[in-house]
Structure 1
Amino acid sequence: MNRALRFLFLAIASAVISTQAFAKGGDSYSTEDIAVEYLGSMTRAEFQRKLDATSVEQMGQSLLNSAGSTYTLAEFNQITNEGIDDEDSAMLTFTESTITGSCSPKTNDVYESLVLRNVNYAKRSMDGWLVLTYYSESTGFYHCIFYFILKSK
């Protein structure tokens, strides 16, 4: 997954920084705030096994490696279903509509999305979510959500 994470980070970061766009919170996300990559097809059990085999620390390190040596990872944690707040819900709705609108998901499709929430040029930081998504036509979307803050060194 490291290659996909690097691609996602670079794609979204360059899009946001080159246009000087600021990601917005709440329900006002735009296509400039997200990058989605199709990771392939696998069963729900295979998806869960891959998640279980990768620690939160490994996911965070992979994101940090993708960001390059000029950033530090100030925060990286997994958001559980019990911890989802209104902003997380709005982001997931946006992520699902982006996947549905641009990828035409089919059963057993897996996606990785990077959604930027805030880019703060003064503090030289950015934060957002890394979302791993499994889709099934019968059960809909299943997400594994991580929140991150990257700061420039």
Structure 2
Amino acid sequence: MGIVPSLLVHRVAGLPSGFEELAADALADGQRLLEVLREDWESGAVRFDGAGEALFVAVAGGALVGIGGLTRDPYLADDRAGRVRRLYVRRASRRHGVGGALVGAIAAAAAAAGWPRLRVRAPAAAFAFYEARGFLRAVGETAASHVMVLDGPR
């Protein structure tokens, strides 16, 4: 598994150029998560613009190859956890470090925001991916399959 040449991961303030093609790839893969991202963005429900929140893209060779966001975890009553949201990597770019680079950027942003934990609800097919990146299976957690501990309890 190598890193895609010229892979750049950076924060964006809006849906990026190439989003439509990436969303079409997701739909062809049977995934609606980018349609949900677009709907949430257009309605204003989720814009990744709250304190500590961010939307990241992965670009290789000038093409959008992945996207993923960070929000405060809406399934918890307190603000003590971030949540990985709408992570998707183009099918042709998988197993080349794109997803890991996005998760790394999301985890770094969550730690910088002061969140001691990062949570995600992943499909079973993605369990090994998250576990290889330091997430642990969530036991007794509401609305999460995996948790990454970023810092000690505050």
Query: TM-score by structure 2 length?
Result: 0.28
Ranked by relative contact order (alpha carbons within 8 Å, sequence separation 6 or more), the top structure is 1
Query: Per residue, is there more helix in 1 or in 2?
Result: 1
Query: Per residue, is there more strand in 1 or in 2?
Result: 1
